[in-house]
Each structure stands twice: as structure tokens, then as C-alpha cells.
Chain A
Amino acid sequence: MEEYKIMFQIIAFVFIFILVYYLYRYIIYIFRAHRLKSYTIKNTKKNYVYSNIDKITKKFVNLNFYQKRKNRYDKYLTSNTVYNSSHILTLKLFTGVLLVLVYLFECMLYKLNLNLFIAIILYLVGYYIIDIILYFEYSNKVLKMDNNLTKVMIIMNNGYRVNKNHREVIDAIIEEVREPLKSEFKIVRNDLSKGLDISNSLFRMYERTGIEKVLYMSELLGLNVKYGISIIDICDALEKMICKKEKREFYLLRLKNTNKLVISLLAIIPLFVVGLLIIMNYDYFLMLELNKIIIITLGELFIYIVYMFVILSVFRREL
């Protein structure tokens, strides 16, 4: 048995060595690309990991599974990323496989029994963890965009007054505005060059981001596109509307911060009180059967989950 253990350890050592070597090569690659960045014309963003993922996805893209699911990840892309929506799907599939492989390797190392249930759970965790990371990034991005949208409206209002066309106005916006909005308006410019009108391209931006102010912009600019109503009046009305909405939201934010504090306090209180009751009566509690203890903990947990659900649903009421 000892000999097997040494053999497994040697295999593990070789595996880790190969992994460290590839990581080292990747880091060196990035550093060199960064140094050469200012002297090259070609895009140096295509890196080692990306090229490997791209090779794998090209084999599977025509599958039915990919064609159905890849449209879900379109909203996470920006104009700067070299990744495709189908690349994200491959990454999701392979992180799940990687976690299961690590589990198998550990079972080999310590001679544990294989458990299929744990393997399935690990695969699901690997499959959905990228979704969670992407969603948090996305919600952060949307918040930043929502706060800087009045700047866009001011530039639009001044641009249309000196008889600029849509293309020139959006170029002016791209020059002025900072990152998350900048890449979003680059996509709008791309849509315009493909032949869509301004209201449709802004509606596509609303579908990507879900900001209500962008919907207002697209719907009211549609009045100019379809019925020829003067664009200066529309921009004036839009600026007024968005400014008022922003003022209201800042006032609500102050109220919501106090509400958050109340929630965090109220979430602890039931746990604290019930915990105290159990600790005070602990000797009496130990004399019970195991069945009753399980019923008590499960019941309390169920009531607590319902309680938190009610509180959060009150907090997140649509306003």
C-alpha cells in the first residue's frame, strides 16, 4: 500500500509541475505583449487561453445546444472584449469538468470512495459560478451607467441645436464619456452604420442594459424618426424628465440606506433570541430524542427563511 501512495504522490507532483510551468509561460506572454503594445499595430489582446478556447468552440458551435443557449450571454459582452457569447458557454462547461477532475484526483490521492452525488453537485457549482461572477460585474456596470446618463443627454441637447447629425452627436458622446457607457455607445454607433435608425439602436441598448431612461430616450426619439417632430424640443423634454428622475432617485437612495440598516438588524434578532433560548435550556434540550431535535432545527429554519423572504419582498417593492 505504501508503494501505491508514493506513486500517486509522484503523479500529483508531475501534474502540479506541468500546471505551474504553463502558468509561468502565460504570465511571461502577457508581460511581453504589454511591453510591445505601444509599438504594434495588430491587436495583442488575443492571449494564450483565448486561442485554446477558440479552438474548442469552433468544433461545437454548430451543435443545437450551443445555438439555443448562446443568445443569453449577449448582454455580458462589450465592444472591448475579444470573447464571443459561445466562448462563455465553453468556459462554463469546462470549469465544471475541471472541478470534477480535481475531485477524482483527490479521491485517487487519499483512496476515498467515489460519490456520484458530490460529483454532480461539483459540476453544477462549476457550471453556474461563472454566471454569478458575470452577473455581479454586469449589475455594477449598469449602476455606473445609470448615474452618468445626464451627461449624455446634455451633449445630445447641445449637439442637435447646432445641427449635427446622429453620427456626429454619438461621436461627441464617445469622446466625452467614461468607460462603461463609452463601449456601449460604440455598439450604438456600429448599429447606426449597419442601417438601423437612432430609436431602434437605442432600444437595442435598453434590451442589453435594462435602464429605464434609455427606453424613454428611444421612445421619444422615435417621434422624430416616424412623424418628424423637431428634435430640439424632444431633447429639451428628455433632459427635463431625466434630471427630475435622477433627483428623485438620489432622494430615495438616502431613504433606502436607512432601510438597509434596519434590515440587517432585524435579520439577526430572531437568530439571537432563539439561540439564547436553546442555550439557556441546554441540559433539558439534550434529553430529547434525536428526531425532535431535527424537527425543531428544520422547523425553525423554515420559519426563518419565510421571514427573510417576506422582509426582502417588502424592501424590493416596485416603485
Chain B
Amino acid sequence: MKKLQRKIKLLGINYDANIFNSLRLVFSLILFFYLIFSIKYGYIIAPLIAIIFYLLSEYVVIDIPLRNKIINMEKEGIEYVSSLLLNLKNSKSIRVSIKNSSRVINSDLSKEFSQVINDTKIGLTLEESLNNLSERIPSIFLQNIILNLKESDKNGTNVINSIERQLEAMEQHYEEIVVGKNKSIPIIMCLNTILFLSLMIVFLFYIIK
């Protein structure tokens, strides 16, 4: 349950995991009873389909949007982190550099980072607000960069080199995802053709009859 709650928080939505779990349980039960009474061999098919529905609903509603959000965040992160580095190289403090770069750049990631500055105005410390930020951002590399910022705020160490390393790794990761997506396109298209061809032929013979 905690894992699910964390996933929902990473998506950026304020929603209770208990309600989501009970909703999908109720829907799968409705599906189960409907199939048992309506289909001939319902006692075999109904439990199978109910279990598949219960497991698949989490994948469709939470996992796929989360993956898309990671790709989007890493694409925007390449620009944002390099502007953060430019500020840090010119001997600005961490708070000022986050403020500057989130004012200049206009993207979803910069809105998340500008929330840190708003949190510090309410009364949280920088460490606490960075902790809150890392719960809202799903990418591992961006979480590492935030951890770097937090540690340097605590100990006063130089953080530029390690952030550069993380940035390079993030770029490579994003590139691999993009290339993998492009390589999988022909297979998806072939499956599409098989599906639609069979649909066309069935339609033709259904009407001729």
C-alpha cells in the first residue's frame, strides 16, 4: 500500500491509495458476477478476467503515465540542470541559483523547482523542501542531483563535478529510451496491420453473407 501511495504522489496527484484500491476491487467484483451469470462457461472465464482486470488497471492508470512523465522530465532536465550548473559556476548560492533558473526557463520541471522557493517562504528549511521535491519527481538521476544539492547545503562541499556526471548519465539514459522507442515502431505497426487486415476481411464476408 505504501508503494502505491508513493507512486501516486510521484505522478503529482493528491489522491488516496485506499480509495483507488477499493474502487478497482468493486469494479472487478461487478465484472466477475456479470460474467458468471451471462456466459455459458462463466465459472472458468469470470475469475480469470476479474484478476486480469484488477492487475491491469494499476498498470494502465499509474505505470504508463509515470513512465511518460519520467521521459518528459529528463528531456526538460537537460536544459534546466545545465542552467543550474551555470549559476553554481558563477558562485551563486543554491537557493539563488534555483530561483534564477526557474524564473528564466518555462517548463513543468521548473515549476516543480520553483515550488521549493515557495516552500522556504512559508517556513520550511531548504533541506525539508528539497526532500519534498524528491518525492514529487520520478526520475532517478534528477533525484540524485537533488540529493547532491542537499548534501552540499549541509556540508558546504563543491557539487559541480558530481552534478556534471549525473547530467551526462541522464542524457545517455534519455537517448537510449528514445532510440529504443524508435526501434520498436516497425513491430507495433506489423501487429496493427494483422489486426486491421483481419477486421477488413471479416467485415467483407459478413456483409456478402
Taking a contact as CB atoms closer than 8 A, the residue among B181, B186, B190 that contacts A317 in the complex is B181
Chain A proximity of B154: nearest CB distance (Å): 25
Contact residues on B (Cβ < 8 Å of other chain), bracket: 35 or more
Chain B proximity of A319: nearest CB distance (Å): 5
Chain B proximity of A40: nearest CB distance (Å): 47
Q: Does A126 contact B (CB under 8 A)?
A: no
Q: How far is the CA of A259 from the CA of B90 in the complex (A)?
A: 45
Q: Which residues of B contact A266 (CB under 8 A)?
A: 189-190, 192-193
Q: Does A277 contact B (CB under 8 A)?
A: yes
> Which residues 38-89 of B have a CB within 8 angstroms of A?
78-79, 82-83, 85-87, 89
B104 and A300 within 8 A (CB): no
Q: Which residues of A contact B190 (CB under 8 A)?
A: 262, 266
Taking a contact as CB atoms closer than 8 A, the residue among B106, B179, B196, B207 that contacts A270 in the complex is B196
Taking a contact as CB atoms closer than 8 A, the residue among A237, A241, A256 that contacts B182 in the complex is A256
Q: Which residues of B contact A248 (CB under 8 A)?
A: 175, 178
Task: Number of A interface residues at 8 Å Cβ cutoff, please give it.
Answer: 49
Binding stretch for chain B, among A80-88, A129-137, A156-164, A216-224? A216-224
Q: Which residues of A contact B186 (CB under 8 A)?
A: 258-259, 262
A226 and B104 within 8 A (CB): yes
Taking a contact as CB atoms closer than 8 A, the residue among A222, A233, A288, A319 that contacts B181 in the complex is A319
Q: Which residues of B contact A288 (CB under 8 A)?
A: 208
Q: How far is the CA of A263 from the CA of B179 in the complex (A)?
A: 18
A220 with B86, Cβ < 8 A, contacts A252-B178, A274-B201, A274-B204 known: yes
Q: Does A210 contact B (CB under 8 A)?
A: no
Nearest A residue to B196 via CB reads: A307
Q: How far is the CA of A29 from the CA of B196 in the complex (A)?
A: 58
Give B residues with C-beta under 8 Å from A.
78-79, 82-83, 85-87, 89-90, 92, 100-101, 103-106, 171, 175, 178-179, 181-183, 185-186, 188-190, 192-193, 196-197, 199-201, 203-204, 207-208
Give A residues with C-beta under 8 Å from B.
216, 219-220, 222-223, 226-227, 229-230, 233-234, 237, 241, 244, 248, 251-252, 255-256, 258-259, 262-263, 266, 269-270, 273-274, 277-278, 281, 284-285, 288, 292, 295-296, 299-300, 303-304, 306-307, 310-311, 314-315, 317, 319
Given A226-B104, A306-B196, list of 8 further CB < 8 A pairs? A219-B106, A222-B104, A233-B86, A256-B182, A259-B186, A273-B197, A285-B208, A314-B189
